[in-house]
Structure 1
Amino acid sequence: MTSLVTGFLRGTAAGAAGTTALNVTTQADMALRARPASGMPTATVSALAEQADVAIPGARRERQHRLEGLGGLAGTATGVAVGGLAGALRSAGVRLPAVIGAPLLGAAAMVASDLPTARLGLTDPRRWGSADWAADVVPHLAYGVATHATLAATFRADERERAEHPEGAPRSATAGSLLRAAALGAANGARSTFGSAALAWRARPGDRGAVGLLGSRVGRGGATLAALAEASGDKHPAVPPRTAAPGLAPRLALAAGGAGAAARRDGREGGPGALVAAAAAVGAAFGGQRLRAIAADRFGSDLPGAFAEDALAAGLAWWGAGRS
């Protein structure tokens, strides 16, 4: 089974190929219809910079040139990111035929590009004409076709080898292993370090990989101290909300990494469990914060909810780190 990291890197390469196809299609349309380049990427970057209170340096003309460059970079980053996500999903076992996968990838890239502009009030797709829709749909469809074809080509050798030698491949995820992954992810969503601590304490001497490192004396001690520190610091009012990017990103990473490591320890595919754990971490992060707010309204303090969350997260982490 291709790892999520490898799948993501392959996906970024495929996204770059798709972005090239999108740009070529757009430029060909400009040459054929003699239409000007779209100013929407520049306007989007400018609006986002104003919202973030970030000044773009330079005189008027220099600032405009910088905005044009940033707009192009933002479009490229969007195409590469969508491809990276598609690669990670494919490494997790999500494989769609070209007739479905290509249009779906094109639609995803189109939404990723058009949604910010619509939310900023720079455009209204409901008022687009047929020519406007064609100018947007056709290049993104080219993106989807190129990205899907590149992904399929980069994964073909691995998938052929797995089909020819099924005895060496990891076992497929089961309902039980996915439930444990969800529990581990939910624990990480509530307390980002509890999952690692549980894996460390449930490790055995023969375990290899990340679980084996966590099970060492140093790994177990470090994971335990980190969990205790987080359980204590979580109660401090100055701690930023877990649903903000700085709090949510490590929860997602640790949930996916922990569930993937547990699956590989058990000889199973790591991708499906990692995706389930990441989704569970997001749900637990938002749900736990909401429950803490309800407890604060009822008891005048969120400490009762926080201690209850500690106990629930510890129980989920211990069960989720168990062997399937």
Structure 2
Amino acid sequence: MIKSQQVKGQQPTVNSQTRIFIAGHRGMVGSAIWRTLEAKGYRHLVGKTSKDLDLRDQSAVKEFFKAEQPEVVIDAAARVGGILANNENPYPFLMENLQIQNNLIDTAHNFEVEKFIFLGSSCIYPKHAPQPLKEDYLLTGSLEPTNEWYAIAKIAGVKACEAILKQYGKDFVSLMPTNLYGPNDNFDLKTSHVLPAMIRKFHEAKQSTDNGEQSTVNLWGSGTPMREFLHVDDLAEAVVFALEHKLEDNLYNIGTGQDLTIKALAETIQEIVGHQGEIHWDSSKPDGTPRKLLDVSKMNTQGWKAEIDLKDGIQQTYQWFLENKTKFKETKIK
């Protein structure tokens, strides 16, 4: 039996022999969950690549469940992308995510899976909701238009899990992480999020020179918006916590509860990378939402709290980037 800290009398519901299916196990989130579970002694982890199992195919998902008989399902699979990708491809971001999660949730329910962990995103909350964002703010206002298609799909997943808990009493829980970063992140400058994009930009500027000096790094906006960042290994620990305990409710925010300005983030990454050139803020580009911070008191009360310091996490992520940068095509600094 895997031992875990007892919280409010809750008992562990899994052990080292439990068959756990991690959907999306090759991605940044799924791979972190896999690593963490292995390190904690779980020995029956199941993962399938998209080539081996198309989660959009309902019949294929049913055949997989019939063959593998998973006892626990962790849904870390989704079609994801930045603002540009969401805005230009609204239909697949809505439909494919609905297909993936609906097939997993419904099949898990029909095959009597008792523990299901659904991973979503903080974008499910209204664009103009008060800060920090509480779980109770869900469906209280309009969404951010640039990613509402993805958000609507994730909201549907949250509500499907809530409905199963309400009607059947099964332990289907939803975790909503803040902005994630870490090993296996996406460093493609066209599709990546702000933190990995900055790591790559500062690194490539460090390698480039302009009149004998390191190249300038151009960044969007004013640098004044505030954002929260969570290392993916902290999210993985939150998933394991939810796995080993029956939580009191169905929806929990997962984050650090702390944020910083984009300017402060850039300066931190610049220091870690060792870039000594200038930073140019392009104020003609949009800043986006002024602040986006999760209220994580609900999960903290259950007994989980993020532990990885942002600076330490960025240093670790930069080291991973250096060890794997041959996978990424060089980009001209503009």
The answer, yes or no, to whether TM exceeds 0.5 is no
- The structure with the largest alpha-carbon Rg is 1
Q: Which has the higher strand share?
A: 2
TM-score after normalising by structure 1? 0.22
Q: Which has the higher helix share?
A: 1
TM-score after normalising by structure 2? 0.21
Higher relative contact order (CA 8 A, sep 6+): 1
